[in-house]
Amino acid sequence: MASDNGNFSFDNGVLPKIQTNGAGSKKPANGICHDDSVPPVKAQTIHELHSLQRKRSAPTTPVKEGAGGAAFATISEEERQQLQLQSISASLASLTRETGPKVVRGDPARKAEGGHAAKATPEHHHYITPTISVSDSALKFTHVLYNLSPAELYEQAIKYEKGSFITSNGALATLSGAKTGRSPRDKRVVKDDVTTEDLWWGKGSPNIEMDEHTFLTNRERAVDYLNSLDKVFVNDQFLNWDPENRIKVRIISARAYHSLFMHNMCIRATPEELEDFGTPDFTIYNAGQFPCNRYTHYMTSSTSVDINLARREMVILGTQYAGEMKKGLFSVMHYLMPKRQILSLHSGCNMGKDGDVALFFGLSGTGKTTLSTDHNRLLIGDDEHCWSDNGVSNIEGGCYAKCIDLSQEKEPDIWNAIKFGTVLENVVFEEHTREVDYTDKSVTENTRAAYPIEYIPNAKLPCVGPHPKNVILLACDAFGVLPPVSKLNLAQTMYHFISGYTALVAGTEDGIKEPQATFSACFGAAFIMLHPTKYAAMLAEKMQKYGATGWLVNTGWSGGRYGVGNRIKLAYTRKIIDAIHSGELLNAKYQKTEVFGLEIPTGLNGVPSEILDPINTWEDKAAYKETLLKLAGLFKKNFEVFANHKIGTDGSLTDEILAAGPNF
Ligand SMILES: Nc1ncnc2c1ncn2[C@@H]1O[C@H](COP(=O)(O)OP(=O)(O)OP(=O)(O)O)[C@@H](O)[C@H]1O
Ligand SMILES: O=C([O-])CC(=O)C(=O)O
Ligand SMILES: [Ca+2]
Ligand SMILES: [Mn+2]
């Protein structure tokens, strides 16, 4: 029975308290200590005990010690946090109703625990008051979880996000929902006076237009959704390891999964860098759980990924696939960097012990991550780079590896990078042991691991390097007619770079289930913003200036087309890549193939000579010839749209490039 003060007691309340030695009296009567001799816990209550477990710290944003110590610090920790919250509130502001929502720092769940609650109560945050409070949203507080650590994000994900689990290797398994790949058809770019002129529009372009007003409609929708939540995650991070061309990005999202993904994929700021972070150069509003309104102008589905270059903002509605954030920012870099005469590249990049740098271009699934992650070389990055007058720099701070059929034996460095802190997307694991089954495609083919680059033991930190010596174009040829390796002259390199051929491997782009021949300009048409020839001209100029050699490597089929032959063994491809790096292939003996006119080596160490010319591996020679001509026809047809574009200042390279394609 409950007494008035809420405590339980027995009816008469007179039962004597049970006494133990020492508990009631200061000294044990007989001088003997029993099992309660261990010093007692310092906490008086269970709440206090739990609060003792966690050492108070400001994990990401300590006060900078001025020259004369804290007394001379320009602003106090509290003032700095206020400025940060004001900046976040401004980011989340509705453009019509009020300046910004009331945001407070910290996890709302912590309020219940007492102790820290004072920090999170509204009264202490009167400094963020909306000017015109005309909606109920102005009465509500949104808690900001700012740059949480991986451990904190794990807890948030596991507590609140269905489908989040710790796997036996320590990684965080998550589900990205209905979308397990990017949605390129739902990408929109605001067409204004500036972008009308600057960007590539029309047939073949990834930039599908929307107007400013529609962008603001979607932005409002995303911001309203985020402000309606109890808490949002905010990441302030950097892009580009080149210190002169670093971009500050803010990612506002609703899921711990998204925050941890970006923590891993972008460059992580030091506490000192965060202190001076200021206004971000670009902001993402990821309201992926919430759909766009299909009746909104320009919308063709309930998914929309919208970029507004003038406002320096991106809005995500209706897809939780984390790759949208990564590749959205990459699109922005494809606009910002060329403006500064810096070439942005969808490529992996590594460096030998002697400083020889190789770039690995290729569409999704062709081997950029797999082949740039090489135990004998330093990894600069696996997917997005810049090539400036100073050399190469990685745009990102992490890697995003495909993990379907991942094997410890074939890809040991990637295997070992899957540990605490790594996000494992859409993988299947054993319910009890939590062991991941990398062969299981039940959720999707496009299973992924996102980890910080320093999880690769031979990462090159900082992720920059000198000018590339080799430019390797990867194609996963489902037709099985391209040779495993060809040496390219400059015009051929440009021809194949602009063509961007591969057989798209299942899953990465939503809706593709089987490999199929694809042409994607610059090996990344989905992300480029300018006309492909702009990037091609820059690449040609840089390769010429720094004397880089081009190569075409087929990581796809051998011995027949998809369905008949098999994918070339990774071990062979690695030998080919080794021979490019070492210079062995540069000095090999070559012969020219028919139709494509490719220079192929007659032999190389560790690879059976007969596979170097694909015709040898096909049983049915007539079928080979027919398939070769079919692919050549596809190349020709694809290139027609580029025939009228001049590359570089004079037309001579353009003519050479046109002549560098298949001849039949
Ligand atoms: N011969 C081969 N060469 C390269 N990769 C191969 C080969 N055979 C099989 N593979 C597999 O192909 C996949 C290549 O994927 P990878 O992650 O390297 O793609 P990516 O080019 O980085 O794509 P994305 O841009 O989508 O990240 C891996 O799963 C790898 O194990
Ligand atoms: O963006 C993604 O989803 C994965 C990737 O790297 C690509 O497709 O090039
Ligand atoms: Ca990759
Ligand atoms: Mn990629």
Measured in Å, residue 365 CA sits from the centre of ligand 1 at 4
Q: Which atom of ligand 1 has the smallest separation from the CA of 370?
A: 18
pLDDT in tens, 524-582: 999 999 999 999 999 999 999 999 999 999 999 999 988 889 999 999 999 999 999 99
Q: Kindly report, residue by residue over 78-123, the tens digit of the pLDDT.
A: 898 999 999 999 999 988 776 788 899 999 988 655 444 334 344 3
The pLDDT assigned to 128 comes to 44
For residues 638-643, give the mean pLDDT: 91
Q: Among this protein's residues, is 327 annotated catalytic?
A: yes
What's the mean pLDDT in 42-53? 84
Residue nearest (by alpha carbon) to ligand 1 atom 4: 367
Nearest ligand, CA 509: 2
How many whole angstroms from 416 Cα to the centroid of ligand 4?
21
Residue 175 one-letter amino acid:
L
The residues, ordered by sequence, that sit 6+ positions from 65 with a Cβ below 8 Å of its Cβ are: 73
Identified catalytic residue from 182, 255, 402, 460: 182
CB 162, CB 141: distance < 8 Å: no
196-248 pLDDT, tens digit per residue, is 999 999 988 999 999 999 999 999 999 999 999 999 999 999 999 999 999 99
Q: Which helix (H) or strand (E) holds 166?
A: strand 165-166
Beta strand 549-554 with 590-592 is: unpaired
182 is catalytic: yes
Q: How far is the CA of 279 from the centre of ligand 4 (A)?
A: 28
- Closest Cα to atom 8, ligand 2: which residue? 364
**Is 66 within 8 Å of 74 (Cβ atoms)?**
yes
Confidence of residue 598 (pLDDT cuts 50, 70, 90): very high
Atom 2 in ligand 2: which residue has the minimum CA distance? 323
157-186 average pLDDT score: 97
Across 281-305, average pLDDT: 97
Q: What is the mean pLDDT of residues 312-316?
A: 98
The region of weakest confidence among 46-50, 373-377, 502-506, 650-654 is 502-506
Note the pLDDT of residue 517.
82
Q: Which atom of ligand 2 is nearest to the CA of 524?
A: 9
Which of 362, 648, 400, 306 shows the shortest CA–CA distance to 499? 362
pLDDT in tens, 390-449: 999 999 999 999 999 999 999 999 999 999 999 999 999 999 999 999 999 999 999 999
- The CA-based angle 485-486-491, given to 5 degrees, is 145
For ligand 1, what atom is nearest to the CA of residue 568?
Answer: 1
Residue 429 has a pLDDT of 98
Residue nearest to atom 6 of ligand 2 (CA): 364
ipTM greater than 0.95 = yes
Annotated catalytic, 192? no
Distance 85 CA to ligand 1 centre (A): 42
Neighbours of 388 (CB within 10 A): 20
Is the predicted pLDDT of residue 333 greater than 80, yes or no? yes
Out of 264, 370, 441, mutate this one to test ligand 1's pocket (max ligand atoms within 8 Å of CB): namely 370
- Residue 118: per-residue pLDDT: 37
Quick check: 180 pLDDT over 90? yes
Closest atom of ligand 2 relative to the 181 alpha carbon: 3
Among 180, 264, 324, 369, residue to substitute to test ligand 1 (most atoms within 8 Å of Cβ): 369
Q: Yes or no: say if 626 and 561 are a contact pair by the CB < 8 Å rule.
A: no
Is 364 designated active site?
yes
Catalytic residue among 369, 447, 549, 573: 369
Are 520 and 500 within 8 A, CB to CB?
Answer: yes
- For the chain, percent of residues with pLDDT exceeding 90: 75
Residue 28, pLDDT above cutoff 80: no
520 C-alpha to ligand 1 centroid (Å) = 17
Averaged confidence pLDDT in the chain? 88
| Angle at the Cα of 464 from the Cα atoms of 461 and 470, rounded to 5 degrees | 125
**Cα(225)–Cα(142) distance, integer angstroms:** 11
Is 385 catalytic? The answer is no
Distance 264 CA to ligand 1 centre (A): 20
Q: Rounded CA gap, 261 and 255, in Å? A: 10
Going by CA atoms, what residue is nearest to atom 1 of ligand 2? Answer: 323
Q: Is the CB of 366 under 6 A from ligand 1?
A: yes
Provide the terminal-to-terminal Cα distance of the chain, rounded to the nearest Å.
Answer: 95
Neighbours of ion ligand 3 (CB under 5 A): 369, 383
Report pLDDT for 652: 79
- Residue 208: other Cβ atoms inside 10 A: 16
Nearest to 56 by CA among 122, 110, 103: 110
Residue 596 CB contacts under 8 Å (≥ 6 apart), including other chains:
482, 486, 628, 632, 662
179's tokens: 């979308």
